[in-house]
């Protein structure tokens, strides 16, 4: 096949991970349902043996994601985004120090708390868009960090990190850098090309894209780190089922179209919400006055499809908007073809620094005018 450097990510998403082109060969990789493989005697290093260790049904997905992230090697698929996050955080030594965003995905924060209780990992929370503060924390008075965790844009606050600068600062003290790239997708930002050590994804979201599968992945450039992530998967049994991986691969074939459409719609909706009489604040990095705009414009190939919206009327107003929409789906999760929204603080576990009235909007691929009409009607119903 043509080398990756000559193919755009939109093309790679379609053509990578196909069976070798030969007369009569299938265009799509088969799904193999077999827990075990015929094997006698001492198995060779790459021999198929048992499907918790490896199965060929994972490989096309792992190849596509590895190439999209520009890793130079395949990704490692996991049973969920959280399994991939747990694998990445297992790279922190016991008693090590983890610096992570205050507004990371809340279950990732929960896992870090669990690590601090079980393994003595010390956790320092930072505002990831405050580069000076993050650099200071990485060099903290309690000693250098072992890992810098980055999420950008953050979930749900949409803060944008200066990832290249943070990578350099973390590497200067010998810390690993792991980036949760779920919100951006590799079509919008490729942290490994900035020197990040590991990228993790909730494949559940944009990569699979249809809200019909829970899946995760981790990707590293380094062979040793990749081997450790794979070993974690095997030892913890944090594996994905073959059908889930096949669904995600199928979803990934249309990733570029979906991301292009939903990003364009999100920017359009954010601009209209900006001047809306029933809106107190709107956050989307595409808005010229958004705190993350300049950085996102410099670093990202787009601004993502998540909008932060604070309607008039506080938490009550936010609840009323969720109750009034008819097209937007009130649901947690994001990144599906269908647009959805959620008041994040309905979860007691959500950070109290997330405003009580904040709605997180995930913009899908419906017609933008239909999305606007529904949202505008719901907002206008607020007294």
Ligand X SMILES: *Cc1c(COP(=O)(O)O)cnc(C)c1O
Active site residues: 52, 105, 180, 205
In this structure, the dihedral spanned by the alpha carbons of residues 293, 295, 299 and 305, taken in order and rounded to 10 degrees, is: -30
Answer yes or no: are the C-beta atoms of 148 and 126 closer than 8 Å. no
Q: How far is the CB of 117 from ligand X (least distance, A)?
A: 20
Q: How far is the CB of 213 from ligand X (least distance, A)?
A: 9
Compare residues 80 and 339 and give the one whose CB is closer to ligand X.
Answer: 80
Q: How far is the CB of 333 from ligand X (least distance, A)?
A: 6
Q: How far apart are CA 231 and CA 78, in angstroms?
A: 12
Using CA atoms, how far residue 284 sits from 25, 34, 269, 339, 363, in Å, is: 45, 45, 10, 16, 12
Q: Give the HSE-up count for residue 61: Cα atoms under 13 Å, Cβ half-sphere.
A: 31
Residues within the interface to ligand X (CB under 6 A): 80-82, 105, 107-108, 151, 155, 180, 182-183, 202, 204-205, 214, 216
- What beta strand segments (E) does 59-193 contain? 76-78, 97-101, 122-126, 147-151, 176-180
Q: How far is the CB of 205 from ligand X (least distance, A)?
A: 6
Residue number, nearest CB to ligand X: 81
Q: How far apart are CA 116 and CA 135, in angstroms?
A: 21
Q: How far is the CB of 238 from ligand X (least distance, A)?
A: 11
Q: Token digits for 378?
A: 């719901």
Answer yes or no: are the C-beta atoms of 197 and 220 closer than 8 Å. yes
Smallest CA-to-CA distance from 37 within 19, 20, 17, 57 is with 57
Beta-bridge partners for 177: 148
CB atoms within 10 A of CB 356: 15
Q: How far is the CB of 96 from ligand X (least distance, A)?
A: 21
Compare residues 196 and 378 and give the one whose CB is closer to ligand X.
Answer: 196
Smallest CA-to-CA distance from 298 within 179, 170, 162 is with 162
CA 274 to chain centre: 26
Q: How far is the CB of 84 from ligand X (least distance, A)?
A: 8
DSSP secondary structure, 238-292, as one string: -PPPHHHHHHHHHHHTTHHHHHHHHHHHHHHHHHHHHT-TTEEEEE-TTSTTSTT
């Amino acid at each position: 096949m043509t080398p990756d450097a000559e193919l755009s990510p939109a093309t790679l998403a379609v053509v990578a991970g196909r069976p070798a082109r030969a007369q009569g060969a299938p265009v799509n990789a088969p799904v193999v349902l077999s827990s075990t493989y015929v094997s006698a005697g001492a198995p060779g290093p790459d021999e198929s043996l048992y499907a918790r260790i490896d199965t060929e049904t994972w490989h096309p997905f792992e190849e596509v994601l590895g190439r999209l992230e520009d890793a130079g090697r395949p990704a490692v698929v996991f049973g969920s985004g959280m399994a991939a996050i747990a694998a990445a955080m297992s790279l922190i030594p016991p008693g090590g120090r983890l610096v992570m965003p205050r507004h990371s995905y809340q279950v990732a924060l929960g896992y870090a708390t669990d690590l601090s209780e079980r393994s003595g990992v010390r956790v320092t929370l930072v505002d990831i868009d405050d580069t000076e503060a993050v650099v200071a924390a990485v060099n903290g008075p309690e000693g250098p960090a072992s890992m810098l965790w980055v999420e950008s844009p953050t979930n749900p606050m949409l803060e944008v990190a200066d990832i290249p600068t943070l990578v350099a600062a973390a590497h200067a003290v010998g810390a690993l850098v792991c980036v949760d790239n779920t919100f951006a997708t590799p079509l919008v930002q490729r942290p490994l090309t900035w020197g990040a050590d590991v990228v993790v994804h909730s494949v559940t979201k944009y990569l699979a894209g249809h809200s019909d599968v829970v899946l995760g992945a981790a990707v590293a450039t380094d062979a040793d780190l990749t081997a450790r992530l794979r070993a974690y998967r095997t030892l913890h049994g944090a594996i994905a089922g073959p059908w889930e991986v096949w669904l995600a691969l199928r979803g990934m074939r249309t990733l570029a179209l979906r991301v292009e459409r939903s990003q364009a719609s999100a920017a359009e909706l954010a601009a209209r919400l900006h001047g809306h009489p029933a809106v107190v604040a709107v956050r989307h990095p595409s808005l010229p006055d958004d705190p993350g705009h300049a950085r996102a414009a410099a670093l990202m190939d787009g601004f993502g499809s998540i909008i932060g919206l604070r309607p008039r009327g506080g938490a009550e107003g936010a609840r009323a908007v969720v109750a009034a929409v008819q097209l937007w789906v009130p649901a947690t999760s994001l990144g599906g073809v269908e647009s959805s929204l959620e008041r994040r603080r309905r979860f007691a576990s959500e950070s109290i620094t997330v405003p009580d009235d904040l709605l997180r909007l995930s913009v899908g691929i419906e017609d933008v005018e239909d999305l606007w009409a529904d949202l505008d009607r719901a907002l206008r119903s607020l007294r």
